[in-house]
Structure 1
Amino acid sequence: NAVPKRQREFAAGRAAARQALRAAGGTAIAIPMGADRAPQWPAGFCGSITHDDHWALAVAARTDHWRSLGLDLEDASPLEDDLIPLICTEAERARFDIRGASHSAKAIFSAKEAAYKAIYPLTGRMMSFHDIELLTLGECAFEARLAVAQPPFGRGLVMEGRQRICAGRLVSFVAFGQGS
């Protein structure tokens, strides 16, 4: 029932997912949407899908190597002023000197989206943006910490992620290995 633009983005994301699944050694099959709207990867695989108006990206891996993956894609423009308090904690705003429309705030938003996408398949729990706090935000990497427990993960779990700007888009990635 989505509008045509959203249908095209969804289809492009699912096409990218099939390619990622094949690259990970699986069969390029359809990736259905679950009741919670999350992608339902075939047994033995995990992955993540992200898309916007122009790009669709996906990653997939075998679950004997990785427990979960999270991928996010955002326009590399600054985050709007009115969204900053919803996305960034007071500690993050102080730590990263965020004032006004901010590229750092958008990077924090994308990092949290990738972390959430990696955590959600393992917890099945919705989270708010303040449930994850960015500790570091470098040129290509970030560290985030769970500010609240998300069983099976306790409060304080630190996640490492990667982030790059490519073709005017900010791409963020988090992976949970089997030892995580």
Structure 2
Amino acid sequence: MTFQITALPPPEGGFILAPQVRHGDVLLAQTRFDLRQFDERLSAHWGLPLPPALQQAVKKRRAEYLASRWLARETLQLYGIPDFLLCNHNDRSPVWPSGIQASLSHTEGAVALAVTRQPLCVGIDIETIMSEHTAEETASMVMSDEENVRLRRLPLTYPQAATLLFSLKESLYKALWPQLHQPMDFLQASLLTIDVPTHKAVLCLEQTFSADFFAGLRLEAVFQLEADRVTTLLTHPLPGHKKPA
């Protein structure tokens, strides 16, 4: 992923760590957070109240909610939308302002958000690298035999490769959900190509979901690998819009 990077000023207290945005047609915002520094009073102090359903949730879940809502509010300010409070539809998908396409993800101690005004389906996912045992255990659920062979040829450890594939498919499903509102199985999309040096991948739908999202449709993604995490971003033109030349 190649973007101009700008740091966001973190709030006091040490809970939010090193927030930044990477500018482009799709703005990518990321932050880490320190669970040890989470204080439930921060929700009221920052004007980001926890919904009733989370009042009794475990500390980790409340911290993820607060960090993700803080990042969403700070990022949407860059689009001239002040004091934004991210809420959810009944299906738990995010409710974004009109004219905004966005996607949010979090994992252990990190949040990622992709935002654009471009006519794009957007899906982002951030994952902590699986253990060797988890990667082997979940392989049959998230990939075909052909994908498994392809991953084992990559210049990555198998846990890195398996986590990357899992994340790519999560990004695809997040990008398509607002258009389809249909559950998707991991095997209903497949990995066609992946290029580690350029951080690019192409996936393909294995099933027809609609006239616009049909079997054989190719979807492009980019990814970022870190020592302990992987972030994937998939974009595709909204129905009725062509991919820019």
TM-score with structure 2 setting the length? 0.67
Residue 150 of structure 1: aligned partner? 209
Tell me which moved more, 42-51 or 148-157.
148-157
Residue 106 of structure 1: aligned partner? 163
Residue 68 of structure 1: aligned partner? 121
Distance 1:161 1:75, change over 3 A: same
Give the whole-Å Cα distance in 2 for the aligned partners of 1:60 and 1:154. Answer: 25
Kept in 2: contact 1:24–1:60 (CA 8 A): no
Which amino acid is 1:164 matched to? Q
Kept in 2: contact 1:66–1:175 (CA 8 A): no
- Per the TM alignment, residue 165 of structure 1 is displaced from its structure 2 partner at its CA by 1.2
1:141 aligns with 2:200: yes
Residue 173 of structure 1: aligned partner? 233
Kept in 2: contact 1:24–1:61 (CA 8 A): no
Kept in 2: contact 1:87–1:109 (CA 8 A): yes
- Per the TM alignment, residue 132 of structure 1 is displaced from its structure 2 partner at its CA by 0.9
Q: Which has the higher contact order (CA 8 A, sep 6+)?
A: 1
| Structure 1 vs Structure 2 CA RMSD | 2.0
- Return 5+ residue gaps in structure 1 as ranges: none
Distance 1:42 1:94, change over 3 A: same
- Per the TM alignment, residue 11 of structure 1 is displaced from its structure 2 partner at its CA by 1.9
- Return 5+ residue gaps in structure 2 as ranges: 1-52
SS of the counterpart of 2:123? strand
Residue 62 of structure 2: aligned partner? 7
Give the whole-Å Cα distance in 2 for the aligned partners of 1:101 and 1:162. Answer: 19
- Per the TM alignment, residue 147 of structure 1 is displaced from its structure 2 partner at its CA by 0.6
Residue 88 of structure 2: aligned partner? 33
Tell me which moved more, 36-45 or 100-109.
100-109
Residue 121 of structure 1: aligned partner? 178
Give the whole-Å Cα distance in 1 for the aligned partners of 2:122 and 2:58. Answer: 28
Residue 160 of structure 1: aligned partner? 220
TM-score with structure 1 setting the length? 0.89
- Per the TM alignment, residue 25 of structure 1 is displaced from its structure 2 partner at its CA by 4.0
Distance 1:26 1:66, change over 3 A: farther
Distance 1:59 1:28, change over 3 A: farther
Q: Percent of pairs identical after alignment?
A: 26
Kept in 2: contact 1:76–1:169 (CA 8 A): yes
Kept in 1: contact 2:108–2:128 (CA 8 A): no
SS of the counterpart of 2:139? helix
Distance 1:24 1:138, change over 3 A: farther
Kept in 1: contact 2:102–2:123 (CA 8 A): yes
SS of the counterpart of 1:96? helix
Kept in 1: contact 2:220–2:236 (CA 8 A): no
Displacement over 4 Å in runs of 4+: none
Distance 1:167 1:13, change over 3 A: farther
